[in-house]
Structure 1
Amino acid sequence: MKTDMTVEQLVSKVNDLSLIKRDYCVDANNLVVHSDCMGSKLCIGDSSYIMQENAKKQLASLCNIPYSYINRIEGRYPELVDINYNTALQDIRSTRLIRTIGQHARAVLSDKYRRFENEDVLKTLLPMLENYKGLSVVSSSLTDAKMYLKIVSAKEEAEVRVGDVIQFGALITNSEVGMGGIAITPFCLRLVCTNGMTLPKYNKSVRHIHLGKRFSTIEEYEASTVDENDLFSRVSISLLSALDPLYYMKVIEKMKLAAEIRVVDYQDSIDKVAKHFGLDEEERLRIIHHYLAEHDTTLYGLVNAVTRSAQDSLTYVRATELEKIGSDILYEGVKAANRGDESEVFGLLS
């Protein structure tokens, strides 16, 4: 399982960034974009901020301009970027929330956006871990778009095979820039090789969108606060659901079934997996490597090869995506086997 930083490093970074965040409540037709060969800046009054990719995508969407077009011309024709953005902005009659951090514009959001700051989520979550079934953070990361924490319980575990222990917990994510609200997704960790796997298809993620009462001034926006008791209650309920033995033993049963499903042609199966999930060639080769190294010719072995390959990913985000792909293969493969048509999914045969 890939990790970018310890939870202590995460807390320190989140707290440091909280000191340089600033938000603006602005009429869209008062926004101006100024671009050069180095990129685009969003101008708000006398201040200008270099736009991060997320802000560019949101501004392009607001202006009804394809982002692929903006991305293609930005470095070569900056003046054309400005004409497109600034002409469109003049016709937009709405208030937007502009979120900045340091010298960067990180988000262009609705005037109904409800904020959940990363520091508030950590303030709610971390004290909770000390009181909940031996929970601990085993992996974490912070990107421009999201904060990630993967937690497991040393007390909530079960065996697939003798000595093959799986611990259960949750993946918790939060975005301050409109890329999804607080989401809690069941998660498990295979101890023998520290492979992680998110389990969204087995139990619905609990998501709290960042949408609230419309505001017209930055003062109204900043006066809105998160109900800490409500947040604590919702997170608690979600964690307890993910750690319910009645739930996670169903996952263990599927893993045991997968351990009985034989892969007839591993190369063909992995090729089909790569095509179905859009894996690149390097990822496909890594999965083959880990599959052969595991000496497990079952669907369970294939799933573990995929989740093990996640540890080799260049980014934490891609590693997390591969952990979900491993879960999807497990879910769909066992489902096909139960229907008796496993040979039609990833080249498998029981």
Structure 2
Amino acid sequence: MTQQFAERATNVAPTGARNAELSDLVRILEDQNRRKLDVITPASALRFREGNVHVEGVESLITEDGVTEVDGIYQPTAVADEGISDKLRIPLAYLRRMRAENVPLLDENVNAWLGQEPERRFMLRAFRGDNAPGMPPAEGVARALLSDSYKLMDNFDMLLAALDGVKQSGHPTRVTGCDLTDRRMYVRVESEAVAVQARALLRGYRSPFDGRSGDELPMISAGFVITNSEVGSGAYTITPRAVIQVCRNGLTETKDVMRAVHLGGKQDQGVVSWSGQTQRKTLELITSKTADAVRTFLSREYVEAKVREMEAAAGKTLAEPTKTIEHVTKTLSIGTEAKDMILAHFIRGGQMTAGGVMQAVTSTAQTLTDADQAAALEALALPALTAAATHG
């Protein structure tokens, strides 16, 4: 087992993974799908007690598979708290303070605002707890509070559709790593069959991990990263991603991202279930878009053009690297702890140029245990290159 599970305060299945293999990700997603509960509910059916979401008076769903009970207690994740803050217009910093210091006040605030518009409808995304025979219902997890027009595009379905699109593209690829957080799924795909030389970009660079030289392995592979959020933290996207072979640093080109947003029409009240036709059409579109994106992002011409763009700025020598990194991190709102890590990676990389700053940002991203933070930092690598190259 390669993934590192995130700690949970509940008895539902672990939902986090970092640098997992594809098979591990699939297993986690399959388990999540068995526990998912999505319901459109009026505010009058929601109450906060002891900081938890209580669902009361929502009709159970009866199908051939049995009865899906909705009423119960659900512990909010940090993402769910953000949704509650947004939908009820309670300042997030204040909500977090109440949760940390005064939970009865949190209950009072949330319930007061829910009572202002009792007929207002939301989508509650949750995981059911394990219900042992003869025991009271176990607490579940409130994953997100969303608009009742949120369109479900779940990770497992998106993953299978995307991999089908990759297959249809005809390019030889491999999945090099997967992350799963309460916010997003990330799947990194690489094609070593599409690799280009980048001698100018990697001249004088050493891997901060094992000291290997970029002069001896000056190759960059084509790739991309698939992301999706089930909880309103972003669209389904495919973002081109170049991989520096000597150190495995990833460079995401966010300005060329392909996306599909989670917006749909108002949905009926009750437990949410896609119709087969709607689901099929959506997934067919994802497969088609993915195939088109792969053909573009895994073309040698595309990768060579991006390398040339980077090389134009990367060669600038830095007279005062520490001041440049201070400028870059301040400009890009990178925190002090990450800034110190970037400086250490820059020194170990040995490349005293703007390109060295870019490499330090991406190698630092590899070391972060929080996958969302890692992805956000990696996305700043090219802006960091530009900021370093233009710094006086």
Partner of 2:35: 20
Match of 2:151 in 1: 114
Structure 2 partner of 1:68: 93
- In structure 1, how many angstroms separate the alpha carbons of the residues matched to 2:244 and 2:164? 25
How far apart are the structure 1 equivalents of 2:271 and 2:346? Answer: 56
Equivalent residue in structure 1 for 2:247, among 193, 201, 221: 193
- Aligned residue in 1 for 2:45: 30
- For 2:152, give the aligned amino acid: R
1:125 aligns with 2:180: no
Q: 1:279 to 1:31 in 2, by over 3 A?
A: same
Residue in structure 1 matching 2:267, options 215, 218, 231: 215
Tell me the residue number matched to 1:339.
none
Question: What corresponds to 2:52 in structure 1?
Answer: 40
Kindly indicate whether residue 111 of structure 2 is the aligned counterpart of residue 86 of structure 1.
Answer: yes
In the TM superposition, what are the counterparts of 1:263-278 in structure 2 within 5 Å? 263-278=318-333
In the alignment, which residue of structure 1 is the partner of 2:371?
316
Range that drifts further, 189-198 or 221-230: 221-230
8 Å Cα contact 2:349-2:360 kept in structure 1:
yes
> Is residue 10 from structure 1 mapped to residue 62 from structure 2 by the alignment?
no
Q: Which of the residues 309, 312, 316 maps onto 1:257?
A: 312
Which sections of structure 2, spanning at least 5 residues, go unmatched?
1-16, 58-70, 129-139, 200-214
| Per-residue deviation, 1:219 | 5.8
8 Å contact from structure 2 (residues 332, 380) kept in 1: yes
- Contact kept, 8 Å, 2:41 with 2:124, in 1: the verdict is yes
Please report the TM-score for the alignment, with normalisation by the length of structure 2.
0.79
Out of 186, 190, 193, the residue aligned to residue 148 of structure 1 is: 186
Deviations 1:199-232 (A, max 9, x none): 113x2x1211111121123366433524232221
Moved over 3 A (4+): 127-132, 218-222, 331-334
SS of equivalent to 2:279: coil
**SS of equivalent residue, structure 2 residue 198:** strand
Q: Distance in 2 between matches of 1:293 and 1:265?
A: 16
Tell me if 1:172 matches 2:240.
no
Q: Deviations over 1:320-339 (max 9, x none)?
A: 122111121224556xxxxx
Change (3 A) 1:312 1:219: closer
- Structure 1 vs Structure 2 CA RMSD: 2.0
**Residue 54 of structure 2 is aligned to residue 54 of structure 1:** no
Q: Does 1:137 align with 2:175?
A: yes
Shift of 1:263: 1.0
Q: Superposition pairs for residues 276-315 of structure 1, below 5 Å?
A: 276-315=331-370
Cα distance change of structure 1 residues 40 and 157 upon mapping to structure 2, 3 Å threshold: same
Aligned counterparts of 1:75 and 1:208: Cα–Cα separation in 2: 36
Is this contact kept in 2: 1:29–1:91, CA < 8 A? no
Describe the superposition over 1:285-305 as per-residue Cα deviations: whole angstroms up to 9, x where unpaired: 222222222221111122111
Superposition deviation, residue 138 in structure 1: 1.2
The one-letter amino acid of 2:89's match is: N
Give the Cα–Cα distance (whole angstroms) in 2 for the partners of residues 48 and 327 of structure 1: 44
Which runs of no fewer than 5 residues in structure 1 stay unpaired? Answer: 335-341
Paired residue total: 331
SS in 2 for 1:112: coil
**Range with bigger deviation, 122-131 or 134-143:** 122-131
The answer to which of 216-225 and 69-78 deviates more is: 216-225
Structure 2 counterpart SS, 1:210 = coil
Report the TM-score when normalising by structure 1: 0.88
Name the SS of the counterpart of 1:225 in structure 2.
helix
Shift of 1:75: 3.2
**Shift in Å at residue 150 of structure 1?**
1.2
Give per-residue Cα distances to partners, 1:223-279, cap 9 Å, x unaligned.
352423222111212222222334322211023223421111111111112222233
More displaced stretch, 125-134 vs 314-323: 125-134
CA contact (8 A) 2:164 2:287 kept: no
Distance in 2 between residues matched to 1:168 and 1:305, nearest whole Å: 20
Matched residue, 1:183: 237
CA distance in 1, matches of 2:347, 2:40: 56
Taking the aligned partners of 2:87 and 2:54, their CA distance within structure 1 comes to 14
> Could you tell me whether the CA contact under 8 Å between 1:167 and 1:191 is conserved in 2?
yes
Counterpart-to-counterpart distance in 2, 1:68 and 1:176 = 23
Q: Percent identity?
A: 27
